[in-house]
């Protein structure tokens, strides 16, 4: 129990630092997208019209027929995040020829799903660090249970982010240079690709099941007793440990 | 071979990378192929741990070889990877299953669990070696290519007798290579067993190599034309035969390390013979030789090849240095502890 408590403390501090760094890295990447693939950023944010004071959607969905975002928006925040100026002009989808636009609705949902998970993880880490600091972590079992399932958060965010990046680049496979239909192998048939896709999916589910099984087994058993005694070149001599 | 240009340099470099792959991953695929020959759990674990620290580093050579092919000769990469799509997907699955089996096998004590991963490891290793050989055999014999440089055959069309023979020869070569490596890394009763397997696999390989040579000369005569027109190249064929003969010679004397080096030399000379007879083609087109992909019509621009050469000059020494480090750190017989596979 003492081992678990200490491990969790280290884990929470690392998670907090990593979540903050992740947000910074995300900001830098998004500005890169704005610069190099404006159509992708416009699709992420459902920004149909080029505008100054471009808003950032916190939560919502895209009404594609009416070309607008329904939900909670902060005016000027997108302009601020991209150009560090709330009045800056952000390129919308109206600047992109219709045949070069990615599917907006799915990009918006993938991207916002990823960001939402990222911030949820950040809040979990903040709460966790706060309760750990107050030594009240063990009493808040609801938070511990959330942490158990938060392991899936980064995995899902990763996948959603990947979907957003790939779908957001459509119809290009190399942005502005090569269209996806032009990049297909001429001799590989669709059913062959489907076969490999099914096999890959099967393998991934199989490996995921084995992974969860082994991980659970390892957690249930805890660390090997020998690992709880420091050893190796960097460890303090045994007599010193006993004095501490 | 008239002059040394960038295209030729990259032809040689791609060959060197694949030869390095054969020498290194060859023995761990071979260990995998021999894995089920012992039924003792302890011995299987020792075999796994003999390749434990190095097998994934060895596979990097396949990745760099494929990467070099992609960057230096993109048309070859496109034709071969599209044309051999199903075969390469199968190769990928075989490599995935054997890798995962190494990691997961000893994590649970149940018999069925370990047996399942053991079978995965052995099957994955044998199928990987076989498919690599079949791919090589197809390239040697020639594959149908249309005027646009696209593969014009089918998956089942790749499983012809000659490529299958090369595939079996590759399995035999890797088994021999792996058994000699295993002899160097083990002691006691497993060591004695591996000695026996090494002897049998040397015989297996010599039979395969002799058959392949005869079949090649009889049915794939274009693979001997360069040597016919440049008789001095026959010295490489001679070197190949001598290195094969040297394997059992050194092995009987107990010079396992020299036997292993002879096995490496066998692979190097085989790849040289293969490369010499392919040159300047990379993918020989059969039945329409004029559609062959060679080092000029399939290459990237001279600028790309030049930049890549600089990168290779920096990267290859680094890879060689860390590879040497790993083998030095894990030298000697396998010692098992709690953190072993």
Residue range B214-243, pLDDT digits in tens: 999 999 888 888 888 888 989 999 999 999
CA nearest to B250, candidates B212, B198, B208 = B198
How far is A149 from A192, CA to CA, in rounded Å?
A: 36
- Taking 90 as the threshold, does the pLDDT of residue A184 lie above it? no
Chain A residue numbers with beta carbons less than 8 Å from the beta carbon of B89 are 195-196, 199
Handedness of CA B320, B326, B329, B331 (dihedral sign): negative
Residues of B in contact with A217 (CB under 8 A): 107-108
Task: Report whether the peptide linkage leading into residue B280 is cis, meaning its omega lies within 30 degrees of zero.
Answer: yes
- For residue A133, what is the enclosing H or E element? helix A104-133
> Does the predicted interface ipTM exceed a cut of 0.85?
no
Cβ–Cβ below 8 Å for A214 and B108: yes
**Domain around B264:** 6-329
Residue B108 is given by DSSP the state S
* Max avg pLDDT among A51-55, B168-172, B190-194, B328-332: B168-172
Q: Do A187 and B82 touch (CB under 8 A)?
A: yes
Per-residue pLDDT, averaged over B64-69, amounts to 92
At A165, which helix (H) or strand (E)?
helix A152-169
State how many domains chain B has.
Answer: 1
- Residue B3, pLDDT score: 64
Mutation target to probe the A interface, by most A beta carbons within 10 A, among B79, B93, B152 is B93
Question: What is the rounded CA–CA span in Å between residue B261 and residue B267?
Answer: 10
The per-residue pLDDT for B27 is: 94
Residues of chain A positioned with their CB less than 8 A from the CB of B86: 192, 195-196
Closest among B135, B162, B167 to B62, alpha carbons compared: B135
Burial degree of B103 (CB within 10 A; 0-12, 13-18, 19+):
middle
Residue A244, pLDDT > 50, answer no
Q: Phi and psi for B145 in degrees, rounded to 5?
A: -130, 135
Q: How far apart are CA B274 and CA B22, in angstroms?
A: 13
Please state the rounded mean pLDDT for residues A32-45: 87
Residues A94 and A100: beta-carbon distance below 8 Å? no
Mean per-residue pLDDT for B262-266?
95
> Rounded CA gap, B26 and B34, in Å?
12
Please report the pLDDT score of residue B200 as a whole number: 94
Is A210 within 8 Å of B104 when comparing Cβ atoms? Answer: yes
Q: Indicate yes or no: CB of B85 within 8 angstroms of CB of A192.
A: yes
Nearest to B89 among A185, A196, A207 (CB): A196
Closest CB from B89, B151, B338 relative to A187: B151
Looking at residue B1, what is its pLDDT?
Answer: 47
**pLDDT for residue A242:** 53
User: Is the pLDDT reported for residue A153 higher than 70?
Assistant: yes
Distance CA B297, CA A29 (A): 38
> Given this model, what pLDDT does residue A236 score?
65
CB B116 within 8 A of CB B124: no
**DSSP summary character for residue A171:** T
CB-based contacts of B244: which residues, under 8 Å, 6+ apart? B205, B206, B209, B262, B266
Is residue B211, in this structure, part of any structural domain at all?
Answer: yes
A194 and B89 Cβ atoms separated by less than 8 Å: no
The stretch B10-20 carries a mean pLDDT of 93
Top-confidence residue, B2 or B303: B303
Most distant CA atoms of chain A, gap in Å: 75
Q: CB under 8 Å to A196, separation ≥6 — which residues?
A: B85, B86, B89
Rounded CA-CA distance B227/B222 in Å is: 10
The pLDDT of B98-109, averaged and rounded, is 90
Asked whether the beta carbons of residue B85 and residue A185 sit closer than 8 angstroms, the reply is yes
**Nearest CB neighbour to B107, from listed A187, A192, A214:** A214
Residue B337 lies in a domain: no
Contact A214 B104 (CB under 8 A): yes
pLDDT confidence of residue A96 = 84
Cβ within 8 Å, pair B85-A207 = no
Judge whether B313 lies within some domain.
yes
Longest CA span, chain B: 62
Residue B295: which of B312, B279, B319, B315 has the closest Cα? B279
pLDDT of amino acid B13 = 92
Rounded to whole angstroms, the Cα distance separating B200 from B179 reads 10
Return the pLDDT at A237.
Answer: 62
Average pLDDT for B272-292: 88
Residues of chain A contacting B158 with CB distance shorter than 8 Å: none
**Is A230's pLDDT higher than 80?**
no
Residues of chain A positioned with their CB less than 8 A from the CB of B108: 214, 217
Q: Above 60 in pLDDT, residue A126?
A: yes
In tens, the pLDDT along B183-199 reads 999 988 999 999 999 99
**Between chains, do B82 and A226 touch, taking CB under 8 Å as contact?**
no
Pairing relation of β-strands A51-52 and A89-90? antiparallel
Could you tell me if B99 lies within 8 Å of chain A, comparing CB atoms? Answer: no
pLDDT attached to residue A238? 59
* Inter-chain residue contact A185 with B89, CB threshold 8 Å: no
Name B169's Cβ contacts closer than 8 Å, sequence gap at least 6. B133, B205, B208, B209, B211, B212
Instruction: Choose among B165, B75, B91, B78: nearest CA to B127.
Output: B91
On the question of pLDDT at A101 being above 90, the answer is no
CA distances from residue A102 to A44, A63, A97, A157, A164 in whole angstroms, order as listed: 10, 15, 11, 20, 10
Banded model confidence at residue B340, pLDDT cuts 50, 70, 90: confident
């Amino acid at each position: 129990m003492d081992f678990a408590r200490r491990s969790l403390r280290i884990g929470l501090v690392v998670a907090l630092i990593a979540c903050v760094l992740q947000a910074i890295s995300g900001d830098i990447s998004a500005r890169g997208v704005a610069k190099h693939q404006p159509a992708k950023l416009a699709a992420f944010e459902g920004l149909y019209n080029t505008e100054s004071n471009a808003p950032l959607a916190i939560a919502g969905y895209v009404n594609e027929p009416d070309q607008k975002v329904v939900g909670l928006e902060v005016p000027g925040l997108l302009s601020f995040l991209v150009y560090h100026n709330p009045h800056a002009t952000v390129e919308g989808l109206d600047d992109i020829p219709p045949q070069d636009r990615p599917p907006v609705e799915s990009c918006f949902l993938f991207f916002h799903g990823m960001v939402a998970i990222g911030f949820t993880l950040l809040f979990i880490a903040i709460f966790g660090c706060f309760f750990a600091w107050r030594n009240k972590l063990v009493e808040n079992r609801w938070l511990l249970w959330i942490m158990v399932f938060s392991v899936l958060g980064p995995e899902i965010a990763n996948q959603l982010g990947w979907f957003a990046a790939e779908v957001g680049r459509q119809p290009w496979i190399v942005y502005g240079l090569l269209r996806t239909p032009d990049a297909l192998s001429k001799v590989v048939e669709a059913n062959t690709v489907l076969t490999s896709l099914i096999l890959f999916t099967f393998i991934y589910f199989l490996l995921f099941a084995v992974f969860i099984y082994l991980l659970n087994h390892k957690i249930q058993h805890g660390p090997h007793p020998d690992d709880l005694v420091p050893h190796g070149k960097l460890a303090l001599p045994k007599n010193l440990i006993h004095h501490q | 071979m008239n002059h040394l240009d960038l295209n030729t340099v990259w032809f040689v470099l791609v060959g060197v990378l694949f030869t390095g792959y054969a020498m290194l991953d060859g023995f761990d695929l071979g260990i995998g192929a021999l894995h089920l020959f012992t039924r003792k759990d302890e011995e299987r674990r020792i075999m796994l741990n003999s390749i434990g620290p190095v097998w994934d580093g060895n596979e990097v050579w396949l990745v760099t070889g494929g990467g070099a092919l992609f960057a230096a000769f993109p048309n070859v990469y496109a034709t071969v990877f599209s044309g051999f799509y199903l075969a390469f997907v199968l190769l990928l699955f075989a490599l995935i299953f054997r890798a995962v089996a190494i990691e997961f096998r000893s994590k649970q004590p149940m018999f069925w669990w370990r047996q399942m991963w053991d079978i995965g490891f052995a099957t994955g290793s044998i199928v990987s070696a076989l498919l690599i050989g079949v791919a090589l055999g197809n390239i040697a014999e020639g594959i149908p290519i249309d005027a646009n440089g696209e593969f014009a055959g089918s998956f089942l069309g790749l499983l012809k007798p000659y490529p299958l023979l090369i595939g079996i020869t590759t399995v035999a070569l890797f088994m021999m290579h792996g058994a000699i490596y295993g002899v160097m890394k083990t002691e006691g009763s497993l060591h004695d067993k591996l000695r026996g397997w090494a002897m049998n696999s040397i015989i297996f390989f010599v039979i395969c190599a002799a058959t392949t040579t005869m079949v090649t000369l009889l049915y794939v005569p274009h693979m001997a034309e360069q040597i016919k027109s440049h008789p001095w190249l026959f010295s490489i064929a001679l070197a190949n035969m001598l290195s094969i003969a040297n394997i059992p010679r050194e092995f009987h004397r107990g010079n396992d390390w020299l036997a292993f080096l002879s096995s490496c030399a066998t692979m190097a000379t085989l790849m040289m013979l293969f490369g010499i007879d392919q040159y300047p083609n990379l993918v020989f087109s059969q039945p329409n030789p004029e559609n062959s992909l060679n080092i000029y019509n399939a290459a990237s621009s001279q600028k790309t090849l030049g930049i890549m050469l600089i990168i290779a000059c920096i990267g290859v020494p680094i890879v060689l240095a860390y590879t040497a480090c790993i083998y030095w750190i894990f030298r000697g017989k396998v010692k098992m502890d709690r953190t072993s596979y």
